[in-house]
Structure 1
């Protein structure tokens, strides 16, 4: 099984709870890291890196992410050869024009450091007007709306983790067959 590092920023606890659900769905090979207490060196042992944040106001990350992402660049961390996925919490009614925009800076930073982004998530089942996190008709990662659709959170987490495992398995098989 792939070693999974789940890095999250959480001020009010909702993102931490979702991160725990993701950890539980992965099982014993997943480790939680609060970015407030982590360094970018903590990324090293993981084959799959998962970043998660709530979306504040109009697309802002949770505040603990800013120094962590700055250090990622400043220390020249190379994530080539690692897979990465992102998740964000958002309110599709209150912030319908910037829904789950926190996915975008997280995904961009991971890709810029060389990680292979997996885990794009369907937009169906959500009601919003705009999101920078939608590319090619899908979200860049898992989107959770604890304000409007909390009843769907566990189901979405389980489906997303199953999807991530399938994508990791497919890329592992392709790499071993030389494709």
Structure 2
């Protein structure tokens, strides 16, 4: 597919909101309408060579879903289907974003993001779009590798005033990498 696929899991709608902001920043001409992972199949995701995937954080390094106390299917159920299908994501380039609440859960801030990172890396995807931990206050996050988050992290609860600026900076960073993958020159 010659567009960037944007997919998210959500419980309260906040991750959907952030996915829509990211897609709008990229533009309709290069990014598909964001889709909830509880409404797609792995085959639909595999149609894209460049993807942006977003998740809220739940539990201690858990991925959101019914077993984590969610009200509807989410990433846990999608990843279970992915594990059955055993897809090949080699050749795919993926940028991740995750939500977290650093004051409420400082000991596991945005940790669900790491689960997506591990799963898609394990299926051969190239992950891009790490993000600085500067400006955040937390004790621990599984989503930090070599001093950086494995993707954009948004704290809409306590730092919503930084959301648009963070999205803008991150999109500028990942846009050329994702466009390159779909054959669009910047």
**TM value normalised by structure 1:** 0.90
Instruction: Say whether 1:154 aligns with 2:155.
Output: no
Instruction: Name the counterpart of 1:59.
Output: 61
Moved >3 Å (runs of 4+): 166-173
Unaligned runs of 5+ in 2: 66-73
Deviations 1:7-41 (A, max 9, x none): 11111111100000011011112121101111101
- 8 Å contact from structure 2 (residues 4, 178) kept in 1: no
| 1:49 to 2:59 alignment | no
Aligned residue pairs: how many?
173
Distance in 2 separating the partners of 1:46 and 1:114: 14
Cross-structure match for 1:176: none
Kept in 1: contact 2:50–2:182 (CA 8 A): no
User: Which string of whole-angstrom CA distances, capped at 9 and with x for unpartnered residues, describes residues 57-116 of structure 1?
Assistant: 333322111111111121011011110111111000111010000110001111011100
Aligned in 2, Cα 1:30/1:171: closer, same or farther, shift over 3 Å?
Answer: closer
- C-alpha distance in structure 1 between counterparts of 2:86 and 2:7, whole Å: 18
Q: Secondary structure at the match of 1:22?
A: helix
Q: Are the structure 2 counterparts of residues 74 and 24 from structure 1 closer, same or farther at C-alpha, using a change threshold of 3 Å?
A: same
1:110-138 CA-partner distances (Å, limit 9, x unpaired): 10111000000000010001011000110
- Taking structure 2 as the reference length, the TM-score comes to 0.87
Shift of 1:160: 0.7
Partner residue of 1:126 out of 133, 136, 144: 136
SS at match of 2:77: helix
Aligned position for 2:149 = 139
* Structure 1 residue ranges without an equivalent (≥5): 174-179
The answer to whether the Cα contact below 8 Å between 2:95 and 2:127 also exists between their aligned partners in 1 is: yes
Q: Is the 8 A contact 1:91 1:147 kept in 2?
A: yes
Paired residues of 2:4 and 2:182 also in contact (CA < 8 A): no
